[in-house]
Structure 1
């Protein structure tokens, strides 16, 4: 927790820092990448830097952590820290990188806020930074130790054993370690990072949810990312990586995992957000689960719905499972009450349900609102979002 002196200073300056954080973070990244271009080339997602998503996520997380320190001084925002630490571990972030980030972040703060940044203000916010950084370093060290890589290097080379076209723009990859040793154990809902060397020499890394549990290997699914900028890694995988090719892949990470137990569970997704849910369903079916399972999925149409047949197959294997699907533009006959956007408020959700959500941020916000209105406890609503988590620091 913050010292009393620093707490007073942070509380007094939080409106100024928070109000300027969206100016501070672009300048911070500009300074960081000017001094260390290899970080943009080989670690940070260039697409998310170009569209501003990563900068917005950092701003929200840092401001949320500082706010938590002064408004709830007796508790630590572990959910926020865990989410960031798992992402860092999947990228191979190390303790040595935190002082580098601190240097350029504080240079940006000083440049934007000018004379308001006194020695007292610097000392107080330095305390905030290192409370957050040291907490993350500690969590990440435990994650690396659990993965058998205390140095933070969890990368292994895998060979593509199978590639399955789920839809026109979604492909599933089944991979197995080149060294012949078993693939690491993964919990349902986790993801892996995939590292590729692009034609311009950059090493770019992206996270993909595990969508199954093949014997001796890993399975993840990739949607080709269109738009501007295009998804560099997803397009590379779709265009260049087939059976027999090799990939560098991290150990599995991710804090949104299916909990054991007998409580009812709701798996709600939209679009490619179905991948971790299919992974969870695969696990439930393999375990012969008898708990109540509700699956809710929203997609554009039947044609774009990845794992459509697999969803039907897996729910049929579970004695107490049902699936509700919404299509915005169904191509065939489809129920009118399941046409359009998903409305989880129309489902009969049992008391004590634990919900897992994955999809775009607007879907997550709407789904959470509907679930809370249906009586699901806030603590029982868990979410995964692809890309930078722009919800970090919000109510969970």
Structure 2
């Protein structure tokens, strides 16, 4: 809970800070990377920095957290904090880095807002920052403890033991080089992969696990216009070694027995395939409805996996939409996904994954069909520009 004095100051200055938070975030990253260029080279996603997505995500999370503290002082925004903590834990963020961020963030706030940042304003927003930072550090420490790893010591060497191309995606199967057991994971989680690039950088990307339990981790990479996916597709072969973090992510299949709805678009199918693999491996009797949208049959990754896994389950159906059908796979429907055309049972738990516009549309459709917001879970690849929003 914020002190009463700080809460009054934050409430009074929130409109000004929120209105300038995008500019503050941009100045912050410029200052941070000038002082610590290694962070841009080896930790932050250079592509998301270049297109501004990371700046938007940072700005949105700070503003959302401050608003939540004012509206519900005794109830921190757990969904937002959990999402960020899992991402930080997967990257090996350490406690000392929060102090580095604080120093450059508050320098940026002072530069952008100028004389409006009095000692009182700075103290109040510092309280907001450390409330958020302390909550995240506690969650990250707990995640590391559960995984049996020391804070920040997340990277392990994995050897590529399988490479399965499928159109414009490649599925990599990897095992620990030292022969240690495959780490436990939950269906729907992802791993961070540290990829060496020609210029000496070691850029990190997160990829959803796309298979169920087995003797290897399996993740699928779509080739996009980016340096990391290109490197993985064109230069990583069987026998090569990759640095990989522990399975992370809080959007995971629940352990209940109620009906499940899996809704995906594009490469967002990967966590859904992981969930289907788990359900099939455990002979789950649950009702399962898989909905997928893609541009064409040619761009639909893991279509064979979808059909095979659905066929293994006693009460599962698949519904596929293609915007422009072509090729060998049949199109169930043409155009964009219309969830009103699917028989959605009462008590369903929905999991969504895909581009942000798709997620917003699918969630809005489900809400219109009467699915409670608490029963709709989503995963978005890249910076989460939806944090803190209903």
Asked if the contact 1:147–1:154 (Cα under 8 Å) also holds between the matched residues in 2, the reply is no
Deviation per residue, 1:82-102 (Å, 9 max, x gap): 000000111110001001000
Say if 2:186 is the partner of 1:187. yes
Deviation per residue, 1:81-125 (Å, 9 max, x gap): 000000011111000100100001001101111111000000000
Q: Once the 2 structures are TM-superposed, how far is the Cα of residue 203 of structure 1 from its aligned partner?
A: 1.1
Task: Report the counterpart of residue 21 of structure 1 in structure 2.
Answer: 21
Q: Cα gap change, 1:337/1:320 in structure 2, threshold over 3 Å: closer, same or farther? A: closer
Q: Any idea what SS the aligned residue of 1:141 has?
A: helix
Deviation per residue, 1:266-295 (Å, 9 max, x gap): 000000000000000000000100111000
> How do residues 167-206 of structure 1 correspond to structure 2 at under 5 angstroms?
167=167, 169-206=168-205
Task: Report the counterpart of residue 65 of structure 2 in structure 1.
Answer: 65
Structure 1 stretch 67-76 or stretch 31-40: which is displaced more?
67-76
Say if 2:271 is the partner of 1:242. no
Asked if the contact 2:260–2:350 (Cα under 8 Å) also holds between the matched residues in 1, the reply is yes
Q: Once the 2 structures are TM-superposed, how far is the Cα of residue 332 of structure 1 from its aligned partner?
A: 5.0
Q: Distance in 2 between matches of 1:276 and 1:219?
A: 11
Deviation per residue, 1:7-33 (Å, 9 max, x gap): 000000000000000110000000000
Q: Distance in 2 between matches of 1:159 and 1:143?
A: 25
Structure 1 stretch 214-223 or stretch 94-103: which is displaced more?
214-223
Q: Once the 2 structures are TM-superposed, how far is the Cα of residue 74 of structure 1 from its aligned partner?
A: 2.1
Say if 2:95 is the partner of 1:95. yes
Say if 2:2 is the partner of 1:2. yes
Q: Any idea what SS the aligned residue of 1:211 has?
A: coil
Which of 264, 272, 277 pairs up with 2:267?
272
Which stretches of structure 1, 4 residues or more, deviate above 3 A after TM superposition? 332-337
Q: Distance in 2 between matches of 1:339 and 1:97?
A: 48
Asked if the contact 1:345–1:373 (Cα under 8 Å) also holds between the matched residues in 2, the reply is no
Task: Report the counterpart of residue 371 of structure 1 in structure 2.
Answer: 366
Asked if the contact 1:182–1:217 (Cα under 8 Å) also holds between the matched residues in 2, the reply is no
Task: Report the counterpart of residue 41 of structure 1 in structure 2.
Answer: 41
- What TM-score, normalized by structure 1, do the two folds share? 0.97
Q: Distance in 1 between matches of 2:297 and 2:316?
A: 21
Asked if the contact 2:91–2:154 (Cα under 8 Å) also holds between the matched residues in 1, the reply is no
Asked if the contact 2:61–2:388 (Cα under 8 Å) also holds between the matched residues in 1, the reply is yes
Q: Cα gap change, 1:14/1:173 in structure 2, threshold over 3 Å: closer, same or farther? A: same
Q: Once the 2 structures are TM-superposed, how far is the Cα of residue 216 of structure 1 from its aligned partner?
A: 2.1
Question: Structure 2: which 5+ runs fail to align?
Answer: none
Task: Report the counterpart of residue 51 of structure 1 in structure 2.
Answer: 51
Superposition RMSD in Å: 1.2
Asked if the contact 1:344–1:371 (Cα under 8 Å) also holds between the matched residues in 2, the reply is yes
Say if 2:381 is the partner of 1:386. yes
Q: Distance in 1 between matches of 2:151 and 2:364?
A: 41
Q: Distance in 2 between matches of 1:367 and 1:335?
A: 23
Asked if the contact 1:158–1:246 (Cα under 8 Å) also holds between the matched residues in 2, the reply is yes
